[in-house]
Each structure stands twice: as C-alpha cells, then as structure tokens.
Amino acid sequence: MQDESRSISENSTWGIRRRFEQGKLHINHNKFLGYDKDEEGNLVINEKQAKIVRRIYKDYLDGKGPNRIARELEEEGVPNWNGKPKWYESSIRKILSNEKYKGDALLQKTYTIDFLTKKRAVNNGEVPMYYVEESHPAIIDKEMHTAVQLEMERRRAFAEKYNISKLDYATVDNPFAGRIICGHCGSTFGRKVWNSTDERLRRVVWRCNKKYETKGKKSCENKHINDKVLYQAFVNTFNAMVENKEYFMEKWKEGLKSDNLLKRYKARQFIEILKDAKIVEEFDVDMYFRIIEKMTVFDGKKIIVSLLDSTEIEVAI
Ligand SMILES: [Zn+2]
C-alpha cells in the first residue's frame, strides 16, 4: 500500500516536472491577489484586485513602508484576496517581490518531501526549479517591478549603513525616524521630547544617538536640533527645486536615459512632481517621503538634504 502510494506520487511529481520542462504550466497559486484561474487553469487578471496590487507598488515607490501600506489598506477597508480587509506587513513584502506580477513564474519553489502526508518544503536546490518568463499576463510592468526590487535593496543597504532597524517605520507623525544623520560622527539622530507643565514650552528635538556614549568612548559633540527646523528644511529644499526648475529638469531628463531602472523611475517621478509645482509654505508629508532620502545635520549651522534622485541641497539654519 505504502509502496503503491509512493510510486503514484513520484509519478505525478515527475509528470508535473515534465510539464514544466515542456512549458506547460500548472502554477501552484490557488489563491493570490490579482489573479483568477479560468477553466483550463490559466491565470487571468482580476482587474479589481490588480488595482490594489498596482497601488501597493506605487505606494512603495512613493516612499511608504510595507507596514504603513498594510495599515492604510486596513483603515480603508480594502479587501485582500480572501475578501477580508486584513493586511500584514509580511504579505505586502511578498507581493512586492513576487515575480508573478510581472508575468513570470518561478516553479517548484517548494516540493513534496513526504509523499504520504503531502508535506512540502522550500526547494533549496534539492529538485530543479524553472523560471518561465511571460508565462501569463502581467499586472506590473517589468520596469516598475525591477525599480521596486532596487528600492528594497536601497533601503536595506541604507538601514545597514546607518544601523537602523526601523527605517520603514517612519510615520506621518514621525517622518524623520531613521533619516536624520549626524554630520560629525555619521550616527543617526534620535527624537527626544522635552516636556514641560507649560504646554507652550514642550519641545521635540533630535540629537545624535552618540551624544552620551558608553564609558571609554568620546561622546559626539554635535548640537541637537529642533524638529521645527527639520520641517522648515524640507520646505526650503522643495522651494529651491521649484526656483531652479530648469536646472533640475535637465538633470532628470538625463536620468530618464539611465540604465538603472530605479533612477529612471525616480527621474520620471521628479519631473512629474515639479512640472507644475509652486512655492510651498507648509510641510507636505507625502511629498517628503517621495523625494527625501536623508538630512545630515552639521553643528546647528547647516543641513545637507539628500534627495532620492541623489541630488544634495545645502540648507543654512
Ligand atoms: Zn554624532
């Protein structure tokens, strides 16, 4: 009985592999956002869900973190693939890296290890994998999909360089988290609230995380900075871009020719933003996340604002 079951399973596994090799696909996807299956088992775009997938990709390239994307979808009651308005940071990350959305398929990501219980395991090379391009209609074009993978890598490298665990956790209320860098020692700045019984005296300041270093090491002497100055630095930066629009437009038009698809995407996005932009007076948090990489603070005298198109603008304070 057991032998029989095993040989049937092995046969069917072999059969599935054969079909992969012949390019006849059976994608093990039963349910995932953006696609339905037709009677023959082909993936067809579910337009209503595809809209949500496109929004998630765009939100990410607009500088939002996966946790914020998940929270906003929940707050708006947007249904996931199972019809429930429940979203997790981890599932947003999976959607952002899934090659299926650009029309490709990686087959045999998992394989059967126990033929009786049908237990499956992640395939780390134990059985062959097949990568099939353009196996079904794409929801995200290849350029945008690649731009997202490069942006993930950019954020990972940034977080590693500055030793930040919460880069993607900056929020509308705390947009500077992980993005203010010390011009003296290269460490990040942390947020401190100076409380007072008098509400008018309550202040939020940012100061170098190495200001009070552990014994034996010299502490950093960089001055703290009031968060109002940081908000103003964004306003000044944006207005400097508006005032020098021609200069920047030329630069971004060059960026459109870049081989790097993230640079190309950002160049197009910056052109779109600045095309009709006017001088602003107030901080705009969505714009901030779209264009700012980091702000480096030098001794309470100046801030160098680094934009996501790799421009740097110096702001006197
Ligand atoms: Zn410092």
Identify the CA nearest to 285 among candidates 72, 74, 130, 63.
63
User: Torsions phi, psi of 122, nearest 5?
Assistant: -65, 135
The CA 217 to ligand 1 mean position distance, Å, reads: 12
Q: How far away, in angstroms, is 187 Cα from ligand 1 center?
A: 5
Cα-only R_g, the chain? 25
pLDDT at 24: 47
| pLDDT of amino acid 137 | 93
Domains and CATH numbers, the chain: 2-140 (3.90.1750.20), 153-316 (no CATH)
19 alpha carbon – ligand 1 mean position (Å): 59
Query: Which residues does 14 contact at the CB level (< 8 Å), separation at least 6?
Result: none
In this predicted structure, what is the pLDDT of residue 10? 54
How far is the centre of ligand 1, averaged over its atoms, from the C-alpha of 296 (Å)?
10
User: Are 209 and 163 within 8 A, CB to CB?
Assistant: no
What's the pLDDT score for residue 8?
47
What is the pLDDT tens value at each position of the chain, 317 positions in all?
445 545 545 555 555 555 555 544 445 555 789 999 888 878 899 999 999 999 999 999 999 999 999 999 999 999 998 889 999 999 999 999 999 999 988 777 777 777 777 788 887 877 777 788 888 999 999 999 999 999 999 999 999 999 988 667 778 888 999 999 999 999 999 999 988 888 778 889 999 999 887 666 778 999 999 999 999 999 999 999 999 999 999 999 999 999 999 999 999 999 999 999 999 999 999 999 999 999 999 987 899 999 999 999 999 88
Contact by Cβ (8 Å): 61, 148: yes
Structure tokens at 190: 């942390």
The CB density around residue 98, as the number of other CB atoms within 10 Å, is 20
| pLDDT for residue 250 | 96
CA distance 88 to 94: 10
User: Cα of 146 to ligand 1 centre, how many Å?
Assistant: 35
User: Residue 136 has which token pair?
Assistant: 């079904």
**Based on the number of CB atoms within 10 Å of its own CB, is 180 exposed (0-12), middle (13-18) or buried (19 or more)?**
buried
Residue 245, phi then psi, degrees to nearest 5: -55, -45
**Ligand 1 centre distance from Cα of residue 207 (Å):** 8
Which pair of tokens denotes residue 157? 């490298």
How far away, in angstroms, is 189 Cα from ligand 1 center? 8
**Contact call for residues 168 and 76 (beta carbons, < 8 A):** no
